[in-house]
């Protein structure tokens, strides 16, 4: 049964909210089970896209793997205000989650990310990362900021504002500036399998972002695009295929 937990940031009344779920199927052949860590997009939460991570949680747990999905600070049930979300703080949150996992005795990690969470998962890939599962990964942050936040006109009209409203979400101006100033991502050579899923009709994270990933070196790089798939791939047909691909990956590489 999943258990809500709070990961301390070291500051009073400041925490990262997460759901830890143990495996429901026991693997007799494996003692050091990797922990699956899931990171969401911004704006978003660990329950975004009709609870995609909740469905993945069930898949991982029934495959014999524990999982943890968390809200970045400023999102969901974690402390902080949405307009105060920043890339720097999100990276710090990711580090805190991975440090918590290490303290709890998890030696290996499987990283799952969607949107910006996929970019951060790539950044946080380390020696103990066994696998990457990425959904509509957001790689080119300056391009995303220019397209999604109309930055050319934004700073002319709202230069003194702390945040802007987009689709009822408060987007901090500082975070937009961080995106615009982000250097090109340098991909490390990965000795692990990587699975990527993306919808060709995604209007939030354009599928062209995948062009930046096609030259990435990995033990195995498996990219699937769904020609009629929108952002979040909500179509049940696509979800069924996603779960099938992940199941195959887990069976082969864990």
- For the stretch 157-214, pLDDT in tens is 655 789 999 999 999 999 999 999 999 998 888 999 999 999 999 999 999 999 988 7
- Is 131 found in the same domain as 55? yes
- Dihedral angle at the C-alpha atoms of 53, 58, 60, 66, nearest 10 degrees? 90
End position of a domain, from candidates 183, 203, 236: 183
- Is 161 found in the same domain as 123? no
- Is 110 found in the same domain as 52? yes
- Is 113 found in the same domain as 96? yes
DSSP H stretches of helix in the chain: 48-62, 87-103, 116-123, 141-149, 151-157, 173-180, 236-253
Collect the ranges in the chain with pLDDT lower than 70.
27-31, 156-159
Structural domains counted in the chain: 2
- Is 204 found in the same domain as 78? yes
For residue 113, what are the domain limits? 3-139+189-253
Task: Give the three-class secondary structure for 234.
Answer: coil
| 227-240 confidence digits (pLDDT tens) | 999 999 999 999 99
Q: Which residues pair with 68 in a beta bridge?
A: 20, 37
pLDDT for 186: 87
- Is 151 found in the same domain as 42? no
- Is 117 found in the same domain as 151? no
Distance CA 7, CA 14 (A): 9
- Is 248 found in the same domain as 219? yes
- Is 229 found in the same domain as 113? yes
Q: Could you identify the residue written with the tokens 């400023």?
A: 74
End position of a domain, from candidates 151, 183, 215: 183
- Is 203 found in the same domain as 107? yes
Q: Which residues pair with 111 in a beta bridge?
A: 37, 132
Query: What b/e readout covers 193-213, taking b as 16+ CB neighbours within 10 angstroms?
Result: bbbbbbbeebebbbbebbeeb
- Is 50 found in the same domain as 79? yes
Distance CA 219, CA 226 (A): 23
pLDDT for 158: 52
């Amino acid at each position: 049964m999943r258990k809500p937990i709070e990961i301390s940031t070291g500051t009073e009344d400041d925490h990262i909210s997460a759901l830890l779920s143990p495996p429901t199927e026991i693997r007799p052949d494996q003692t050091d089970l990797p922990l699956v860590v899931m990171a969401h997009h911004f704006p978003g939460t660990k329950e975004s896209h009709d609870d995609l991570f909740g469905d993945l949680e069930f898949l991982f747990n029934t495959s014999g793997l524990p999982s943890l999905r968390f809200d970045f600070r400023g999102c969901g049930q974690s402390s902080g205000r949405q307009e105060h979300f920043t890339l720097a703080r999100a990276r710090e949150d990711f580090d805190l989650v991975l440090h918590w996992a290490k303290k709890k005795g998890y030696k290996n990690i499987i990283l799952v990310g969607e949107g910006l969470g996929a970019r951060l998962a790539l950044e946080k890939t380390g020696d103990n990362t066994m696998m990457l599962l990425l959904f509509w990964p957001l790689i080119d942050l300056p391009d995303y900021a220019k397209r999604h936040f109309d930055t050319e006109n934004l700073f002319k009209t709202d230069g003194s504002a702390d945040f802007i409203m987009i689709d009822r979400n408060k987007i901090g101006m500082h975070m937009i500036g961080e995106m615009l100033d982000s250097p090109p991502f340098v991909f490390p050579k990965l000795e692990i399998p990587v699975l990527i899923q993306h919808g060709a009709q995604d209007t939030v994270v354009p599928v062209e972002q995948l062009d930046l990933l096609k030259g990435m070196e990995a033990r195995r790089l498996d990219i699937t695009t769904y020609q009629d798939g929108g952002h979040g791939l909500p179509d049940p047909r696509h979800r069924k295929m996603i779960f099938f691909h992940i199941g195959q990956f887990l069976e082969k590489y864990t």
